[in-house]
Structure 1
Amino acid sequence: MAKLPYLSRNDLAENDRFIWDDFVKVRGTEPGNIHRTVANAPNLLRRFVDLANELRNGTQLDPKLRELALLTVGRLTGAEYEFVHHWNMALRLGVRREQLEQLAQFESSAEFNQDERAVMRYAAEATSNVKVSDATFEALRRLLDNRRIMELVMNVAIYNAVARIIVPCGIELEPGAKKN
C-alpha cells in the first residue's frame, strides 16, 4: 500500500506543472506511480525525471545490457514495480523471454552470453555487496570502454536508489500493469 499520495498534474502548483507536461512530451505517456510519488517534492521530481531520461535516452550503453542490469537490481531488491516495468521494456528492446525467465540463474543459464553475464554479475555484486570484485570489474573493462562502464555504474546506482524509493514508500503497479 502506498505510503505517500500519487499526485496528479492538478495537485502540483501552477508553476510546477511544466514538469508534468515535459514528461508527457518526452515519454509520450502520463507519469507512472513512481513519478507521481516523487511529485510530492516537485523540486526533486524535475531532476529525477531529467536523470531518468538521460540514463534511458542519452547513453551509449547497449539498451539490452542496461535492462538486464536493471532487472538484476529490481529482482535483488524486491522492487516489484521496477522489475515489472523493466521486464516489459526489456521485451520491447529485444531481450528474449527465455532470458527473462532465467534471470535468477544467469550465471549458469545457457540463455546468456559472456557479455550479458559480466553486466549482470556487476549489477548483482553492486546491489548485494556495494563493492564489486576486481575480476568482475576487469570483465567489464574487456567488454566496455570507460564511458559505457560509467553509464552502467550510474544506471545500477540510480536504480538501486529508485528501488529504495519504491519499496519503503510502498509504490504499487498502476492498474492493469503486469509482466507481458
Structure 2
Amino acid sequence: MTRVPLADMDAQPERVRQFIERRGALNVLRLLANAPNVFGGWAEMVGEIFASDTFTARLREVIILRVGHLQDSPYELAQHVGLARTAGLTEQQIDALVGDGDLAAAGFSSTERTVIDTVTELCTTHRLSDESFAAAHALFGDEALTELLMIVSCYYGLALVLNAADVDIDAEARFQP
C-alpha cells in the first residue's frame, strides 16, 4: 500500500491537473503532485524525454526498462512494458531487459547492446569505465550521450521515489506519452 497519500486532484493547480489528466491519472503522478514546487519541472523533463527525436521510442523504452529492472522498480516496469511492446520490442527482448532472459540471444542491434551495456554499467557501478564511455560516445556523440544519461537519471531517481513510497501499481491506468 502506498506509504504517502496520493494528492487530491481537486486541490491541485490547473496546470498540474491538466498534466495528470492528459497522462492517465496515474498513481505516480498523484504522488508527485504532493510536491507542487518541483512537479512542473519534473513534468517538463519527462515531456521533453518523450518529445525528443534523439532516440526512437523503442530505444527509449530499452533504456527505461533496463533502469526499472536494475532499480528493482515494479511500478516502472508495469508502466513501461506495454509501451515497450508498442515500440516494437519482442517478449524475448523484454524478458532479457528485465532479467529473465538472455541478452545475447534476444536479437538486439549493436546500438541497442551498447545502450544496454552502458545503462547496466552506470546503474550497477554508478560510473562508466573509460572503455564504456568511449564506446557510447563514439556511437552517440556529446548531445545524444548526454540525453541518454539524462533519461537514465530521470528514471533512476523516479524508481527511488516509487520504491521509497511503495506506490501501488495502477490496476488499469497506463502512461500516455
TM-score by length of 2: 0.88
Alignment of 1:51-62 (within 5 A): 51-62=45-56
Bigger CA drift: 97-106 or 28-37?
A: 97-106
Contact 1:72 1:123 in 2 (8 A): yes
Shift in alpha-carbon separation, 1:33–1:72, aligned structure 2, 3 A: same
Q: Say if 2:13 is the partner of 1:19.
A: no
Equivalent residue for 1:49?
Answer: 43
Equivalent residue for 1:124?
Answer: 120
TM-score by length of 1: 0.87
Provide the C-alpha distance between the structure 2 equivalents of 1:50 and 1:41, rounded to a whole number of angstroms. Answer: 14
The alpha carbon displacement at 1:145 in A equals 2.7
Q: Find the residue that maps to 2:2 and give its secondary structure.
A: coil
Equivalent residue for 1:175?
Answer: 171
The alpha carbon displacement at 1:33 in A equals 0.9
Contact 1:59 1:151 in 2 (8 A): no
Q: Say if 2:19 is the partner of 1:30.
A: no
The alpha carbon displacement at 1:117 in A equals 1.0
Q: Find the residue that maps to 1:64 and give its secondary structure.
A: helix
Provide the C-alpha distance between the structure 1 equivalents of 2:127 and 2:108, rounded to a whole number of angstroms. Answer: 23
The alpha carbon displacement at 1:87 in A equals 1.1
Equivalent residue for 1:111?
Answer: 107
Deviations 1:29-58 (A, max 9, x none): 433111100111111111111111111113
Contact 1:115 1:143 in 2 (8 A): yes
Contact 1:106 1:112 in 2 (8 A): no
In structure 2, what residue type is equivalent to 1:21?
Q
Provide the C-alpha distance between the structure 1 equivalents of 2:55 and 2:141, rounded to a whole number of angstroms. Answer: 10
In structure 2, list runs of 5 or more residues that go unmatched: none
Q: Say if 2:95 is the partner of 1:98.
A: no
The alpha carbon displacement at 1:90 in A equals 1.0
The alpha carbon displacement at 1:108 in A equals 2.4
Q: Say if 2:140 is the partner of 1:144.
A: yes
Deviations 1:2-27 (A, max 9, x none): 11111232132xxx222221443xxx
Equivalent residue for 1:63?
Answer: 57
In structure 1, what residue type is equivalent to 2:9?
R
Provide the C-alpha distance between the structure 1 equivalents of 2:64 and 2:18, rounded to a whole number of angstroms. Answer: 26
Provide the C-alpha distance between the structure 2 equivalents of 1:63 and 1:145, rounded to a whole number of angstroms. Answer: 19
Contact 2:62 2:116 in 1 (8 A): yes
The alpha carbon displacement at 1:161 in A equals 0.4
The alpha carbon displacement at 1:98 in A equals 2.0
User: What's the RMSD between the two structures over aligned residues?
Assistant: 1.8
Q: Say if 2:2 is the partner of 1:2.
A: yes
Provide the C-alpha distance between the structure 1 equivalents of 2:151 and 2:105, rounded to a whole number of angstroms. Answer: 24
Q: Matched residue pairs, number?
A: 172
Deviations 1:142-178 (A, max 9, x none): 3213211111010001110000100001011112369
Provide the C-alpha distance between the structure 2 equivalents of 1:98 and 1:106, rounded to a whole number of angstroms. Answer: 8
